[in-house]
Structure 1
Amino acid sequence: MASDRRPRPIVRPKFHHTTFATLKLDEMVSFYEKIAGLEPVYYSENGAWLTNDEANHRIALLALPGLKAPSDKGHTAGLHHTAFEYANFDQWLDNYLRLKDEGIVPFLNLDHGMTMSMYYQDPEGNGVEIQVDAFGDWAAGREWMWASDEFGANPIGVYFDPDKIVAARTAGLGFSEIHKRTRNAEYEPAVKPEVFLPEMW
């Protein structure tokens, strides 16, 4: 018997943007410009719409009246982070060094297998992932996630110290070798942070 159930659209829409309500509009605009090159297309006292590509906006920031500060934000259900991806390893690592010079450092660094990822926090306490694809091919990474016993056994990933990654590149190692050694836990930090967002409020 034919079913009327339609579990997904025939034509799938592309993800376009994320919107945050904020008590720190100017700080948020400044942060997202620094972290990922997002610039305001429109910016007023009530909000800002930011983009870093051809879209009209990728992040919207709404300074709504009557907003309340969150409580225990790092340990409550909801959005954990948004993510941005660099095209190659050198761009990704150079961005880490650029941000470090600005005093902006990640609170968490994980090699997930299909990506190497650094996690930052915006001024409201929201997570921001800056990643590079380990395969250079989304189809290959997707297949690895689906089929790999390695990912199934540890979907969170392997912790790493980004300064050890920088040192490995300076010593002449390429991305493939660094990624392999990271997965073998050769660049782990002295202290492994929690995956929870650090509480900022």
Structure 2
Amino acid sequence: MPHNRASARPVITPAFHHTTFLTTRLDAMVEWYGLVAGLTPTYYGEEAAWLTNDAANHRIAFLSPPGIKTPEDKGHTAGLHHTAFEYADFDQWLDNYVRLRGHEIVPFLTLDHGMTMSIYYQDPDGNGVEIQVDTFGDWSRSKEWMWASLEFAENPIGAHFDPDKLVEARESGLSFQEIHARARAGEYVPAIIPDIFLPEVY
């Protein structure tokens, strides 16, 4: 009799919902994520907080029970490198960079990956936070590009850029796609090329 062969992959896949962190700086983390990505607490207690910036009940959770130990050499040990948030619009994405720069929150890494332009920050505990914009404006197209593109296969990390140069380019009248193409061509390279490791904060 014909039958459906078993698969290791679930037939119905769950949607990614949230990430939870242990922290010794609960108040600072709640304030920072509110400032950077607009996350507001659904519940905010003495030893934990659950935050969201969309219709979900929470997207980021912080647990801060007594006895948490600080990590050693966090930036160079295995584990979570960063979480990411995405803007649907290039101008909103770049405006957010300018806004955070005004609060003296600056990135440690900026990369044009090809399918996204991405700005990486560190939260008070040293976790990476990526703020990105999809360069295709369409997840199906950016996904296909990652899968099929020789360009991505040869350089999956992408091209470094100076975000202040992007601001200047936009002010000069260049479009998103023109800026993206020039960033990929290396026209906005920063004075110092950082590595991809998270800077140690402890």
TM-score interval for Structure 1 and Structure 2 normalised by the shorter chain: over 0.9
Q: What is the CA deviation profile of residues 125-144 of structure 1, one whole-angstrom value per residue up to 9, with x for unaligned ones?
A: 00000000000010100111
SS in 2 for 1:19: strand
TM-score in terms of structure 2 length: 0.97
Matched, 1:75 2:76: yes
Matched, 1:128 2:129: yes
* Percent of aligned pairs sharing the same letter: 66
Counterpart residue identity of residue 99, structure 1: L
Aligned-partner Cα distance in 1 for 2:52–2:125? 19
Q: What is the CA deviation profile of residues 71-102 of structure 1, one whole-angstrom value per residue up to 9, with x for unaligned ones?
A: 00000000000000001100000000000000
List runs of 5+ in structure 1 lacking aligned partners.
none
List runs of 5+ in structure 2 lacking aligned partners.
none
Q: Aligned Cα RMSD in Å?
A: 1.2
Deviation at residue 6 of structure 1 after TM alignment: 2.2
Counterpart residue identity of residue 192, structure 1: I
Aligned-partner Cα distance in 1 for 2:14–2:6? 19
Aligned-partner Cα distance in 2 for 1:2–1:57? 40
Counterpart residue identity of residue 17, structure 2: H
Aligned counterparts, 1:133-172, within 5 A: 133-172=134-173
Deviation at residue 64 of structure 1 after TM alignment: 1.8
Aligned counterparts, 1:97-108, within 5 A: 97-108=98-109
Q: What is the CA deviation profile of residues 95-153 of structure 1, one whole-angstrom value per residue up to 9, with x for unaligned ones?
A: 00000000101100000000000000000000000000000010100111011010000
Q: What is the CA deviation profile of residues 36-59 of structure 1, one whole-angstrom value per residue up to 9, with x for unaligned ones?
A: 000001001110000000000000
Counterpart residue identity of residue 88, structure 1: D
Aligned-partner Cα distance in 2 for 1:18–1:117? 20
TM-score in terms of structure 1 length: 0.98
